[in-house]
Chain A
């Protein structure tokens, strides 16, 4: 059997590994438009000159050779023929498959703001290529502007601060990382970034960019009337699943590629995994989906049930935060909000009828892995006779007698 995987990142590589471990005789071809395999989550380490390109790889040097996988890098897929079971590449190859995995992730977009798209010094922060181009700019630029204070924007900001640039972050909402944090935990990061020289303009919007005679965006105008000078601009205003090449193939999509719990699309033999499915935009889930899709492509039936996506960890300047679930409930949701604070820690638990809806743990996040289980599985903790902040896995302790593995007693 020949399995073709489009995408050589979290989902694609984890699928390939799984296939080669379970059924080594399967022919595996990975196609990717990039020339290297790297972890996007470490791009800021590259841009900040903490690591080189090799240092942000997440696979062994000889991964493809040693696992017997064919890798077509620098190759962009531009079409898909589900009848003939082939994919077309930019250099006009038709590559046939028995089973296909689409693991093409997501790509950023530049909002249609006058002057912004036209500016030559506007970059996304998604691929190593983006980081390399930005790296070049950082050698000469003084003023950097980051549009969007989500996790990606903050990653870009931290790296450019590291490089000694003056960094201004512009954000539409009233706080940084507003998807992951509440006001208080966000404030702690904002302060840390400010101490390192960043400036934040919150509750404001870019309305236009002045482009100079050589096509570079120079001044960013905001809705408030403020004008911010820029030598380099990073756009971090969100990403979209990347699947242009499926047009006309008959694959069902909305804003993402639609898959069932087996991660198969509406077309037999075509599966999708990772950011391209729109289920979750984080690395662990992309890896897991890749793995499950691979197992299913090999003929088994394993379901991906982890559609729960609201989870993240944040670590900037040594301040760590775990954020899970619904952390900013609306008043009409009638949630109970418990908070605890000391000099080094801020903790918040959102409860509804005894079931944990969300948590923020800022400071010491050691041993907090059990919270995700409680939230995902909607475990009622009201029967446990203790303070919710002192819960741990010990309250659900159970073991499999044969294997010695832990289980949850709930």
Chain B
């Protein structure tokens, strides 16, 4: 192992893996046969199996994105597309297999559930192994299930919405996900119900050369509210893994959904995710997207503002260390008049890491009286790091107010001197500046996650200056 690799291993405390054999693993590579196998094991209705096959055909015909990060080393034939650790989705931690539970214990999930969550889902490789929701919420009709179980228990809702926000043909990775999806969260919040504390799902890749393709579908009915939080980690392996999720969210009239991601993949994960929400009249959709870790992340949470009064917000945070590329940002499409949006992006790169902000604000013709503000700030910790900005504005309507601000800067010498002149050692001063830099996003998180995120950033900052 090179010194650099060792450093990364020692900094990344979720790099452990469990050696237990899964109960089922598809053979390497992708084919219609494997798609069939996945669908059969899951006991799916015909329409879903057919959708998967159609999606695979689309995947074969679509070319790889020519923009974004370097995808040339992805070998689709090398991955395991479906790995099932256990046969059941438990409702009690007692029923989760011991070795899987050990993993989630180390990550602290059961503890977090007790302390501050309304519900928890846990996915281990391809399948959701645990999910639970507070009883009072369940009584109010809130549904929080693994997506496979959602399909079984709520086929009518499922069929109405699945693939409508992110159709398989949207992009190559959305097609791939649609073909081999497994796991993810299915959430339905009935009209007027407000889920006051967060629901959380935790995604863990355990196997080497694994493809994880969770699929999340959230429907917030009129006037409801839900905050969903996802966290992700993976072990460190020499072979790359692929995480390619699709998230679809429907925010109905007057509802509000907040979707928070604290992703901390190990450095051997390609993270290529399509996240999109549609927001109807007076609805609010908020993405809070914290991207740490991974080899390459390409992720641009989007909001389609479909009816007057809809509001979309994307807060994106990216941290790229050695060997990492975070190509992140957000998209807002104003497809109705009187809609508002905001994108805030903060990125930090160090040790040769690379961050790119990629954003789109689109206002369709006849969709005037739209207001949008975009702010992206990039901070580079050292000379080796890199940051680029690709903002796109497509404004085809009148009476549109767009504010755009972008800054790219190095860790400020004067800031550093100021803090050091008060007694803070250089590293501590640098951490403080970086934590301050990302504060506008971190302060949007529930306290527990804010603390966690600050801690993750501090870990990433160790050994970065001086």
Asked whether A and B interact, the reply is no
